[in-house]
A = this chain, B = another copy of it.
Amino acid sequence: MARTAFVGLGVMGYPMAGHLASAGHEVTVFNRTRAKAERWREQHGGRVAATPREAAEGAAFVFTCVGNDEDLRSVVYGERGILAGLAAGAVLVDHTTASADIARELAAACREKGADFLDAPVSGGQSGAENGQLTIMCGGAEEAFARAEPVMRAYGRAVTLMGPAGAGQLTKMVNQIAIAGLLQALSEAANFALRAGLDTDRVLEVISKGAAQSWQMDNRWRTMLRGEFDFGFAVDWMRKDLAIAIDEARRNGAPLPVTALVDQFYRLIQQAGGGRWDTSSLIHNLVEKPARTG
């Protein structure tokens, strides 16, 4: 069992750190809002650190799971930051969905300290974090991956090394690109079925057996058509992820015409007040709303 630190106890990090503790690891947590860290300790034991640096001190593995590149910089750098406390030989594992650039930057910064870095964004959502069934896409050195992988198994169902630093983030971008356009197509199909007067349950039964099948069709068709979006992966988070992917594509040159368009459709969902709705809420842009009167 290892001495670990976990920085960032959000909807993902909170249960992930819990799985580390349940697996028998020593866990020191840090969270910007300290009350949440105290609550975590009451539930799982371990220790609460006053700063990310204090959490990192003496830990063999330091995990981060925060909002974005900027949040990550704020917990890693500076006098109170992780790097100031990171021991030589330790591994910093970042579960944030962030840019490939910051992954490469942090890998270099860790190397200077004689430590290792893995970018390790996850998929599987809140329920995957709670059930310990996340998919984890890693970028970094093989040796560091081999050491960290058994620890990540506490909450990872599939933990894969994708390539050098940044490769985890790039893989997560591929995943989000594939999902965005797929969900728009599914929304157009479901709304068309509705307007055509078809029995949408029967349509699902028939088309989900063939070439139109997708995880999203199997799991979101019915809720989309009922206008249920108060669960799952939020539009605000998807827009953050798509911004990263579109920005990376500006550098690597990959054209993303539909992805960029769907990002704009998600903006319309935000404007409609749906920033916290599930990503399947794209159908809300398409359904007919009552005419405005007066």
Interface residues of A (CB under 8 A from B): 100, 123-125, 135, 137, 158, 160, 162-163, 167, 170-171, 173-182, 184-186, 188-199, 202-203, 205-207, 209-217, 219, 233, 245, 248-249, 252-259, 261-262, 265, 285-286, 288
Contact B259 A203 (CB under 8 A): no
Nearest chain B residue, comparing its CB with the CB of A213: B215
A205 to B137 Cα, complex, angstroms: 11
21 intermolecular pairs with C-beta atoms under 8 Å apart: A135-B210, A162-B202, A170-B193, A170-B196, A171-B203, A174-B189, A177-B188, A177-B189, A178-B186, A180-B185, A181-B184, A191-B255, A192-B249, A194-B254, A195-B253, A196-B248, A211-B219, A213-B214, A257-B261, A257-B265, A258-B262
A104 to B242 Cα, complex, angstroms: 44
Interface centre among A171, A177, A180, A188 (most CB of B within 10 A): A188
Contact A160 B257 (CB under 8 A): no
Contact A211 B215 (CB under 8 A): yes
A171 to B197 Cα, complex, angstroms: 10
Contact B135 A167 (CB under 8 A): no
CB distance from A250 to the nearest CB of B (A): 11
Contact B181 A181 (CB under 8 A): yes
A179 to B163 Cα, complex, angstroms: 31
Nearest chain B residue, comparing its CB with the CB of A192: B254
CB distance from A195 to the nearest CB of B (A): 4
Residues of B within 8 Å of A203, CB to CB, are 162, 171, 174
Residues of B within 8 Å of A265, CB to CB, are 257
Residues of B within 8 Å of A163, CB to CB, are 197-199
A198 to B177 Cα, complex, angstroms: 15
A159 to B223 Cα, complex, angstroms: 26
Find A174's partner among B158, B173, B198 (CB 8 Å cutoff): B198
Given pairs A160-B206, A162-B198, A188-B255, 5 additional interface contacts (CB within 8 A)? A171-B206, A174-B198, A179-B212, A184-B258, A192-B245
Given A185-B185, A252-B196, A261-B257, A174–B207 Cβ distance below 8 Å?
yes
A195 to B186 Cα, complex, angstroms: 27
Residues of B within 8 Å of A125, CB to CB, are 211
